Amino acid sequence: MKIYLLRHGETAYNVDKRYQGTRDIPLSPKGRDALIPADISPKKVYVSTLCRAVETAKILFPASQLILEADLREMCFGIFEGRNYIEMEKDPEYLAWVGNDCKGRCPGGETREEFTARTCAVFCRLMEEAFREAAAELVIMAHGGTQMALMEQYALPQMDYYHWCGPNGGGYVLTAEKAEWENSRKMRLLGEVRYEKTEVKT
């Protein structure tokens, strides 16, 4: 079975490098215009409930059934959401969080461990359902954090969390065999995809 772990298109927060987290930020006009339909047409696509992921899925997979999964939403960054690192360069709570490799609790938000546990739980359920249905592919449209959490836990080759943040409108294609997944919870990376127009955005 092939697994597609995809990230939503570009938002204004992406451009300004602001923490989006669970804020329901839409695609920017430029981000929406850059997207193109995917080269696959799965029966179902599992989508984060945040509108930037839903908008992207509708463009990439116009003929697919979109199934919303709340636990695929991005990590909650609490009081950091809506701000970028420049605006917080003297914020003691932000500096403490960054100084701990961003693993502690965002004030008012999640820890990375909590976020990863939430993300992995829904992913494992979807994997089991896909294998049970003998699906040809499992397609997930979510966020950069979703990709990082799942790839760090389950992807071969093994890389750390921050290695795995894919581009807007793109992500990773992996393969998994039922026996290997059940025995070792591992998937093998096949490559990367990006569903945006080829001309350079300005």
- Please name the residues in contact with 195: beta carbons below 8 A apart, sequence gap of 6 or more: 6, 35, 36, 37, 38, 39, 60, 169, 170
Quote the pLDDT of residue 115.
Answer: 98
Can you give the pLDDT at residue 199? 57
Check: CB of residue 4 under 8 Å from CB of residue 137.
yes
- The structural domains of the chain, with segments of one domain joined by +, span 2-194
| pLDDT number for residue 17 | 96
Nearest to 139 by CA among 71, 198, 60: 60
**Which residues are known catalytic residues?**
8, 74
Contact 173, 2 (CB under 8 A): yes
Is 169 strand, coil or helix?
coil
- What is the Cα–Cα distance from 191 to 55, expressed in whole angstroms? 24
Torsion sign (Cα): 94, 144, 105, 109: positive
pLDDT per residue as tens, the chain (202 positions):
999 999 999 999 999 999 999 999 999 999 999 999 999 999 999 999 999 999 999 999 999 999 999 999 999 999 999 999 999 999 999 999 999 999 999 999 999 999 999 999 999 999 999 999 999 999 999 999 999 999 999 999 999 999 998 999 999 999 999 999 999 999 999 999 999 997 544 4
pLDDT of amino acid 201: 47
Radius of gyration of the chain (CA): 17
- From 23, 46, 13, 194, select the one nearest 133 (Cα to Cα): 46
- Cα distances (angstroms) measured from residue 27 to each of 67, 149, 161: 19, 22, 25
Amino acid sitting at position 29:
P
**Whole-angstrom distance, CA of residue 150 vs CA of residue 116:** 7
Q: Specify the pLDDT at position 198.
A: 79
Is the CB of residue 165 less than 8 Å from the CB of residue 31?
A: no
For 67, the 3-state DSSP assignment is strand
CATH superfamily of 2-194: Phosphoglycerate mutase-like (3.40.50.1240)
